């Protein structure tokens, strides 16, 4: 008579439930307090809207459901598969008249039941509480149930998958925790290394995306959110909803795949590996060199930052630390695998090969083996170039303006600047720690800036659709500004290119936007600055706008400087022109909050608010002859008038005289 074999053992299932009841009991108790009792304590304050929102709040972003599933998932896997980590227990259970598939399925479903059954109990109790208060919202609680169960399915299956590769119970939570965040951590560290030692590297967006998508907690927290309807809500059930359910179903599907893979590994698992850190033979070299690589990257970066003030800064110092900790990680991994400290004689060759590969990779990066650092695009292949993140003076609306080049002449200016930066890579890297902000006192006793440093970010949109980014930090000195063709001179010329100033000030305005007010600040009457801004007549606004635009187009207004040097102090007034525009209808603007001003009515910029007004702030400069002539005509502001403007140098000298 043939003996029957079972694919599921109800007795073992029931024994697991009774033996490990503290795990599912604690999990259920936490949810019982949070949801049914939480709804119950709301009492008379529990409305339909709150009944809908409360369950969803436990799923929002870095949520309670996410952390409970991740934490109890590993506890359940450790409990039901704990027999794999003892030679006696693994031999005993595998002697039962059950196929391996049956033993795996029984224990797998036992652990999953520890999480799903409490979820179901909490779901039904919550339904009863809401029904008792007359605010039953089935959809919200059902979304909570499905999402929480899918979270549990994924994290528990992932923990079971990790359990199949180790024979040591303490290694399981370590593997589980590390693998949950390994990719994001490595992507962050590699990205940081590249930014520090790859000249011009701005960060790889694909690497950040990879880290996000392969880090379950971050992937779910960033995509599963409570959202709200923007429009009017005709009923309570259209107020809040859970977005990102696609991610929830995806991780649930991945959980099933991981469970199937865990079963495949379990069927071929060697029983005598109980007690080993790694129980699968082909994973052992992966573990060894994976630990070595992680130690090299993580501990190498850590100790490089700790000793950065004591040792020379650079790639070779980092390489020293990486080699040291890479060797440490390699030998420690072998010790764990072989369960002995005497591993040097038999494993030094593999360690040397690993360190040689690490050295080659660092040399390839530092010596620009792929041509990344020296690459400057051909201007003929560039569709649009951008230069941004550069601070310039004066401090008006053009201070942070982006330079956009979409014609051959402007693109050539950007690539010429890029080529000069690349050609001086060695100097820029060697002097990086010497960058500073310096001032000196001139003959008038005024502090003038002589040196500073600027962040310069470049991006190119190529004709074939590719995008190229570079990020540099460059020094700016008064000597270099006077040197034709220097980085400082090219950069300052770029932000004084024809058309840049007008685009910087008025580029955000659209056709139909109307100038409704103009004011001037920084006006002196004799030796005393006026305490309030001067408001210009509304009927003169069209002429004023025309004069400003003409001066900008001629280069007589909107001049930019990289340093607060003597030329800047003489070439800029300590006065600003404020042009307030009433915006034409914009999509999404809230025109109900303000009253439209009739033509010719001045609206002071201090009173303009909301999305219907925009104020353009322009620093006045002595060369703006058209604008200054109009200000003299309209407000009596002129050098021979009662009201006058003063340059930054004159104001500094005046202030020193008052304080002296």
Task: Indicate whether 415 and 549 sit together in one domain.
Answer: no
Sequence-ordered list of residues with C-beta below 8 angstroms from that of 359, at least 6 positions apart, any chain? 319, 323
Both structure tokens of 542: 């069209």
Q: Please check whether residue 199 lies inside any domain of the structure.
A: no
Task: Give the span between the Cα atoms of 446 and 441, in whole angstroms.
Answer: 5
Sequence-ordered list of residues with C-beta below 8 angstroms from that of 311, at least 6 positions apart, any chain? 317
Residue 3 has what DSSP assignment? Answer: P
Reported as a pLDDT band with limits 50, 70 and 90, residue 591 is: very low
Its domain, for residue 54, covers 10-168+225-277
Task: Indicate whether 74 and 164 sit together in one domain.
Answer: yes
How many structural domains comprise the chain? 4
Q: Please check whether residue 27 lies inside any domain of the structure.
A: yes
Task: Give the span between the Cα atoms of 439 and 451, in whole angstroms.
Answer: 7
Sequence-ordered list of residues with C-beta below 8 angstroms from that of 307, at least 6 positions apart, any chain? none
pLDDT per residue as tens digits for the range 85-97: 887 877 777 776 6
Please give the backbone phi and psi of residue 389, each rounded to the nearest 5 degrees, phi first.
Answer: 70, 15
Task: Give the span between the Cα atoms of 314 and 304, in whole angstroms.
Answer: 9
Reported as a pLDDT band with limits 50, 70 and 90, residue 531 is: confident
121, burial (CB in 10 Å: exposed 0-12, middle 13-18, buried 19+): middle
Residue 612 has what DSSP assignment? Answer: G
pLDDT per residue as tens digits for the range 380-396: 999 999 999 999 999 99
Domain boundary among 366, 400, 428: 366
| Predicted TM-score (pTM) of this structure | 0.78
The three-point CA angle 293-296-297 to 5° equals 85
pLDDT per residue as tens digits for the range 222-272: 999 988 765 554 444 457 788 999 999 999 999 999 999 999 999 888 877
Is residue 630 within 8 A of residue 517, CB to CB? The reply is: no
Task: Indicate whether 467 and 592 sit together in one domain.
Answer: no
| pLDDT given at position 660 | 58
Q: Please check whether residue 618 lies inside any domain of the structure.
A: yes
Please provide the DSSP assignment of 229-241 as one string. Answer: -SS--SSGGGSEE
Sequence-ordered list of residues with C-beta below 8 angstroms from that of 118, at least 6 positions apart, any chain? 24, 27, 28, 31
Is residue 301 within 8 A of residue 185, CB to CB? The reply is: no
Task: Indicate whether 55 and 123 sit together in one domain.
Answer: yes
Task: Give the span between the Cα atoms of 68 and 70, in whole angstroms.
Answer: 5
Of 151-160, 251-260, 299-308, 597-606, the least confident: 597-606
Domain boundary among 432, 465, 497: 497
Is residue 187 within 8 A of residue 208, CB to CB? The reply is: yes
Task: Give the span between the Cα atoms of 155 and 178, in whole angstroms.
Answer: 13
Task: Give the span between the Cα atoms of 41 and 35, in whole angstroms.
Answer: 10
Average of pLDDT values for 168-195?
90
Q: What is the mean pLDDT of the chain?
A: 87
| pLDDT given at position 651 | 87
Collapsing DSSP states into helix, strand and coil, what is residue 20? coil
Q: Please check whether residue 284 lies inside any domain of the structure.
A: no
Position with higher pLDDT, 203 vs 358: 358
Any bridge partners for residue 225, and if so which?
243
Task: Give the span between the Cα atoms of 293 and 304, in whole angstroms.
Answer: 16
Q: Please check whether residue 298 lies inside any domain of the structure.
A: yes
| pLDDT given at position 5 | 55
pLDDT per residue as tens digits for the range 100-155: 888 899 999 999 999 999 999 999 999 999 998 888 889 999 999 999 999 999 99
Q: Is 291 left (phi over 0), alpha (psi -120 to 50) or beta?
A: alpha
Q: Crossing angle for the helix pair 100-133 and 87-94, nearest 10 degrees?
A: 90
Q: Please check whether residue 102 lies inside any domain of the structure.
A: yes
Q: Crossing angle for the helix pair 100-133 and 64-80, nearest 10 degrees?
A: 150
Task: Indicate whether 600 and 647 sit together in one domain.
Answer: yes
- The gap from C-alpha 424 to its chain's centroid, in whole angstroms, comes to 30
Collapsing DSSP states into helix, strand and coil, what is residue 14? helix
Tally of CA atoms within 13 A in the half-sphere of 30 that contains its CB: 14
- Whether the bond between 394 and the residue before it is cis, its omega within 30 degrees of 0, is yes
Average of pLDDT values for 294-300?
92
Give the closest residue to 404 by CA, choosing from 501, 263, 330, 481. Answer: 501
Q: Where are the beta strands (DSSP E) in 530-595?
A: 534-535, 576-582
pLDDT per residue as tens digits for the range 408-446: 999 999 999 999 999 998 888 888 777 888 999 888 888
Task: Indicate whether 117 and 157 sit together in one domain.
Answer: yes
Task: Give the span between the Cα atoms of 160 and 148, in whole angstroms.
Answer: 18
Task: Indicate whether 153 and 38 sit together in one domain.
Answer: yes
Sequence-ordered list of residues with C-beta below 8 angstroms from that of 2, at least 6 positions apart, any chain? none
Task: Indicate whether 30 and 163 sit together in one domain.
Answer: yes
Average of pLDDT values for 595-617?
55
Q: Please check whether residue 175 lies inside any domain of the structure.
A: no
Both structure tokens of 154: 């994924």
Domain boundary among 277, 310, 344: 277
Alpha helices in 198-214 (DSSP H): 205-213
Average of pLDDT values for 477-506?
93
Collapsing DSSP states into helix, strand and coil, what is residue 220? helix
Task: Indicate whether 258 and 347 sit together in one domain.
Answer: no
Both structure tokens of 407: 């014609």
Collapsing DSSP states into helix, strand and coil, what is residue 648? helix
CB atoms within 10 A of CB 229: 11
pLDDT of 40 above 70? yes
Average of pLDDT values for 65-74?
96
The three-point CA angle 413-481-441 to 5° equals 155
- Which whole-number Å values give the CA distances from 656 to 612, 639, 652, in the listed order? 42, 21, 6
Tally of CA atoms within 13 A in the half-sphere of 181 that contains its CB: 10
Task: Indicate whether 488 and 555 sit together in one domain.
Answer: no
Collapsing DSSP states into helix, strand and coil, what is residue 100? helix
Task: Give the span between the Cα atoms of 157 and 176, in whole angstroms.
Answer: 11
Collapsing DSSP states into helix, strand and coil, what is residue 320? helix
Q: Please check whether residue 115 lies inside any domain of the structure.
A: yes
Task: Indicate whether 524 and 580 sit together in one domain.
Answer: yes
Please give the backbone phi and psi of residue 142, each rounded to the nearest 5 degrees, phi first.
Answer: -70, -40
Task: Indicate whether 137 and 70 sit together in one domain.
Answer: yes
């Amino acid at each position: 008579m043939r003996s029957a074999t079972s694919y599921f053992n109800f007795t073992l299932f029931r024994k697991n439930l009774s033996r490990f009841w503290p795990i599912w009991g604690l999990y259920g108790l936490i949810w019982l307090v949070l949801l049914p009792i939480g709804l119950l304590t709301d009492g008379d304050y529990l409305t339909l809207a709150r009944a809908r929102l409360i369950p969803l709040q436990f799923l929002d972003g870095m949520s309670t459901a996410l952390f409970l599933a991740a934490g109890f998932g590993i506890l359940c896997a450790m409990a039901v598969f704990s027999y794999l980590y003892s030679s006696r227990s693994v031999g005993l259970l595998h002697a039962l008249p059950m196929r391996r598939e049956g033993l795996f399925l029984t224990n797998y479903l036992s652990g999953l039941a520890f999480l799903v059954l409490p979820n179901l109990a909490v779901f039904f109790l919550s339904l009863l509480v809401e029904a008792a208060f007359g605010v039953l919202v089935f959809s919200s609680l059902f979304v909570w149930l499905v999402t929480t169960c899918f979270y549990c399915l994924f994290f528990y299956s992932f923990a079971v998958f990790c359990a199949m590769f180790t024979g040591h119970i303490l290694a399981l939570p370590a593997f589980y925790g590390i693998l949950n965040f390994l990719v994001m951590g490595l992507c962050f560290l590699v990205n940081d290394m590249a930014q520090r030692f790859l000249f011009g590297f701005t960060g790889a967006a694909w690497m950040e995306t990879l880290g996000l998508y392969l880090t379950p907690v971050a992937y779910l927290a960033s995509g599963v959110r409570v959202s709200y309807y923007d429009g009017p809500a005709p009923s309570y059930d259209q107020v809040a909803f859970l977005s990102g359910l696609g991610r929830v179903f995806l991780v649930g599907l991945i959980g099933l795949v991981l469970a199937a893979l865990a079963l495949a590994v379990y069927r071929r698992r060697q029983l005598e590996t109980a007690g080993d850190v790694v129980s699968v033979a082909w994973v052992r070299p992966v573990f060894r060199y994976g630990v070595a690589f992680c130690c090299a990257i993580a501990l190498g970066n850590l100790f490089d930052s700790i000793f950065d003030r004591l040792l020379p800064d650079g790639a070779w110092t980092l390489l020293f630390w990486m080699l040291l900790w890479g060797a440490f990680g390699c030998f420690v991994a072998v010790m764990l695998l072989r369960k002995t400290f005497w591993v040097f004689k038999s494993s030094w060759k593999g360690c040397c090969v690993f360190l040689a590969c690490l050295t080659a990779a660092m040399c390839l990066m530092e010596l620009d083996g792929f041509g990344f650092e020296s690459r400057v695009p051909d201007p003929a292949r560039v569709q649009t170039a951008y230069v941004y993140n550069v601070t310039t003076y004066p401090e008006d609306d053009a201070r942070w303006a982006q330079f956009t080049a979409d014609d051959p002449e402007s693109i050539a200016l950007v690539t010429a600047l890029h080529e000069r930066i690349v050609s001086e890579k060695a100097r820029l890297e060697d002097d990086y720690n010497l960058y500073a902000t310096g001032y000196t006192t001139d003959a008038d006793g005024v502090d003038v800036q002589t040196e500073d440093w600027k962040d310069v970010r470049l991006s190119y949109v190529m004709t074939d659709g590719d995008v190229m980014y570079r990020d540099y930090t460059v020094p700016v000195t008064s000597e270099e500004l006077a040197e034709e063709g220097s980085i400082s001179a090219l950069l300052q010329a770029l932000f004084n290119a024809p058309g840049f100033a007008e685009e910087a000030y008025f580029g955000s305005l659209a056709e139909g936007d109307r100038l409704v007010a103009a004011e001037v600040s920084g006006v002196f009457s004799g030796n005393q600055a006026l305490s309030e801004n001067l408001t210009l007549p509304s009927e003169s606004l069209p002429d004023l706008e025309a004069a400003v635009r003409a001066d900008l187009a001629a280069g007589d207004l909107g001049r930019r400087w990289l340093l607060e040097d003597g030329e800047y102090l003489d070439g800029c007034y300590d006065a600003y022109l404020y042009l307030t525009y009433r915006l034409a209808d914009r999509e999404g603007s809230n025109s109900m909050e303000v009253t439209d001003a009739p033509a010719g009515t001045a609206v002071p910029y201090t009173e303009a608010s909301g999305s219907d007004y925009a104020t353009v702030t322009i620093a006045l400069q002595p060369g703006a002859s058209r604008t200054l002539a109009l200000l003299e005509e309209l407000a009596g502001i002129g050098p021979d008038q009662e009201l006058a403007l003063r340059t930054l140098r004159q104001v500094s000298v005046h202030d020193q005289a008052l304080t002296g």
